[in-house]
Amino acid sequence: MTRPMLELVGLNKRFGDLTVLHDIHLRVGQGELVFVIGPSGSGKSTMLRCCNRLEEPTSGSVLIDGADITACSPRALNKMRLNLGMVFQGFHLYPHMDAVGNVMLAQVKALGRSKDEARARALEMLDRVGLRHKSDAMPSALSGGQQQRVAIARALALDPKVMLFDEPTSALDPELVGSVLAVMKDLRTSGMTMLVVSHEMGFAREAADRVIFMDGGVIVEEGQPEAIFTNPQAERTRAFLSRVRG
Amino acid sequence: MDGLDRFLNTFFNGAIFARYLPDMLAGVWVTIWLAAAVIALGLTLGLLLACLRSYGNRVVNLCIIVFADLGRALPPLVLILIMYFGLPGLGVRLSGPLVLILVLGFVLAAFAEEIFWAGLTSVARGQWEAGRATGLGFTQTLIHVALPQAIRLAIPPLVNRVLAISKMTALGSVIGVSEILAVASTAQSFTGSAAPLTMGAIAYVIVFLPLVILTRILEHRYAWKV
Amino acid sequence: MEDFIRLFLNVEVMLRTWPLLKQGLWMTAQLCAVVIGLGLVGGLFLSFLAMAKSRWLRWPAFVVIDVLRAVPPLVLLIFIYSGLPFAGLDISPFAAVAVAFFLNNSAYYAEIYRAGIQSIPAGQTEAARATGLTSAQAMAYVVLPQAVRNVLPDLLSNTVEVVKLTSLASVVSLAELLYSANMARSLTYNSSPLVMAALIYLAFLWPLVRLVSRYQRKLAV
């Protein structure tokens, strides 16, 4: 395996008595795309949110390019988070700013770039997701797929080492899913390290290096996409796959 | 017809209107700058308190909540009388306009804090997460992401409250501040006519009706968005 | 500090002037009952006018509501109390206060009712009419109960404002709570009666203000 960019070591998350994540170990190598599947409530989104401490892990650590994000001060945390781009199921674009403003904000305020520099970079990123012509549009004037691509541009503009995708297409109308997946494929080709939680099995087969199946807060099984999809070892994986295939 | 003439002469006496117009204009000016000072103090303090509250320090928040509750539960006139007639006993003598500005400013701050806070809690959690996930600190996310949205939500109820409390500058007449109502009352006792009171009421309508109409416009603007 | 306690928190003075304040409190209670009762009914009536189909009813209603919202309640009170006698109408302080604040508050209650009624989807009225209710019945049994529940925090909040408003009656020498307290202050040269009045207002209104905060819905996005 290449140098690990993202490493989860013995990660646990409990809400009161409820154990959501139990002893998760996961390494994502540089340029690797790891795809996470599993039934709802299996803890996959929580795992993703623990990576940038939107959710505080109960114990265990998360290393980003070797640096421990779980052991840093609040100020350092903001800097560390710049290394992790996150894309949410609900987009969460800022409704009071136009597309380019959304992509510029953290560049200026968290990264300290000048406004001109940030704008140039923002336009470049919007171009990359195919939305340069929408740079002045307010989020309410964009379709769901366009909003999600702006959100991807917002994360990319900060030059992250790893991109986290939390069900990026679940809130989209079916005909808009393709445009977002195309952007993700393009990212993959350019060598971005990616951890993706999603139900798009076709995309996983096509683009993932590894697929992880989670259930009940643990990693049940992992392997090559072909192996997992055609010949799952664990009974729980088989049951899940037959359910989602219908 | 005689009765109507007498009525018009009592309430709409042109000669009296003309004689007291300069005084009334001076009163209008006092009302306007008092209101402006109250609004500036109240909104600034209210916004600061709401922001402070979002940091979630238990002791600080308790103080803010008590302040906001007192400002909303106490009749302003009670506070005005205590400050104007009570404080001199301690050797602190504040002028009428200052007492009025402080009391109404604090009362507006209490209401504004609650409204801004309601706005802040209405901002979706995902907005905070998006800000924090892109490396913005808490304060940066508050200022650049949450606050602009909260203020937008707060504007319609805020304008209503600003209107209600600006009108309370009329309480200044009780402690000798020569705003519109004081001018009208004085003129009424000099002339023995009700016309100055009519004039005062008209002056208030002219000053505050634009704000009332603004509340209507905002109501429609926001109704369309939904 | 000693001076502060002697002048503002003097228990002896408070006890001595309590009978006077108690009378004032009773007067305040009567005022509140009259003004709130009339205001709730008048406001409902005014809100129906403001939502009438005919613009000849609707527009005058809006003008009345907006003028009443533009004029400070104290100005309205002084106008009625000092102005009406010039028109040959002698009016007692209590009646003047009741009329002035009834007018003022009807406008505010009307706006709240209207917001509540308009928040109920038209489908509710249609469903009621489709089952054979008259439009008055649909309003009374279907729309209004939901509307009032939706705006309960605002109704409550405005009612707190009415109670605070009654303190203005002291300006026209109606012996309600604040007038009595201020009278007691000038008799004793001590501000403790005013502080006691403030505490009495707090005792009644603080719980209501808490309740308003608790039930205040999030602002509409």
The chain B residue lying nearest C194, using CA atoms, is B82
Per-residue pLDDT of chain A (246 residues; tens, 9 = 90+): 678 999 999 999 999 899 999 999 999 999 999 999 999 889 999 999 999 999 999 999 999 999 999 998 888 898 999 999 999 999 999 999 999 999 999 999 999 999 999 999 999 999 999 999 999 999 999 999 999 999 999 999 999 999 999 999 999 999 999 999 999 999 999 999 999 999 999 999 989 999 999 999 999 999 999 999 999 999 999 999 988 876
- The pLDDT of B204-217, averaged and rounded, is 90
Rg (CA), chain B: 22
Cα–Cα distance measured from residue A157 to residue A125, given in angstroms and rounded to the nearest whole number:
6
- The pLDDT of C35-49, averaged and rounded, is 94
Provide the residue range defining the domain that includes C164: 2-220
Q: In total, how many domains does chain C have? A: 1
How does pLDDT run across C200-212, given as a tens digit for each residue?
999 999 999 998 8
Cα–Cα distance measured from residue C39 to residue B95, given in angstroms and rounded to the nearest whole number:
36
Q: What pLDDT is recorded for position A217?
A: 93
- The pLDDT of C51-56, averaged and rounded, is 90
Q: What pLDDT is recorded for position B224?
A: 42
Cα–Cα distance measured from residue B58 to residue B69, given in angstroms and rounded to the nearest whole number:
16
The chain B residue lying nearest A48, using CA atoms, is B133
Contact A84 B133 (CB under 8 A): yes
* Residues 6 or more apart in contact with residue C100 via CB below 8 angstroms: C73, C76, C77, C79, C80, C81
> In A, residues 79-108, which contact B (CB 8 Å cutoff)?
79, 81-82, 84, 86, 88, 90, 92-96, 105-106
| pLDDT band at B208; cut points 50, 70, 90 | very high
Domain residues of chain B, as ranges? 17-222
pLDDT at residue B136 greater than cutoff 60: yes
Q: What pLDDT is recorded for position C217?
A: 57
Q: What pLDDT is recorded for position A63?
A: 95
B17-222 CATH, one of 3.30.460.10, 2.60.40.10, 1.10.3720.10, 3.20.20.70: 1.10.3720.10
Domain residues of chain A, as ranges? 95-159
| pLDDT band at C161; cut points 50, 70, 90 | very high
| pLDDT band at B225; cut points 50, 70, 90 | very low
The whole-chain average pLDDT of chain B stands at 89
Kindly list the residues from chain A whose CB atom is less than 8 angstroms away from the CB atom of residue B119: none
Contact C70 B205 (CB under 8 A): yes
HEC readout, B70-107: HHHHCCHHHHHHHHHHHHHHHCCCCCHHHHHHHHHHHH
The whole-chain average pLDDT of chain A stands at 93
> In C, residues 67-126, which contact B (CB 8 Å cutoff)?
67, 69-76, 78-79, 82-83, 86-87
Q: What pLDDT is recorded for position A148?
A: 96
pLDDT at residue B101 greater than cutoff 70: yes
Contact B167 C201 (CB under 8 A): no
Amino acid at A2: T
Of B110, B129, B208, residue with least CA distance to B167: B208
CATH number of the domain that residue C107 is part of: 1.10.3720.10
- The pLDDT of B126-131, averaged and rounded, is 94
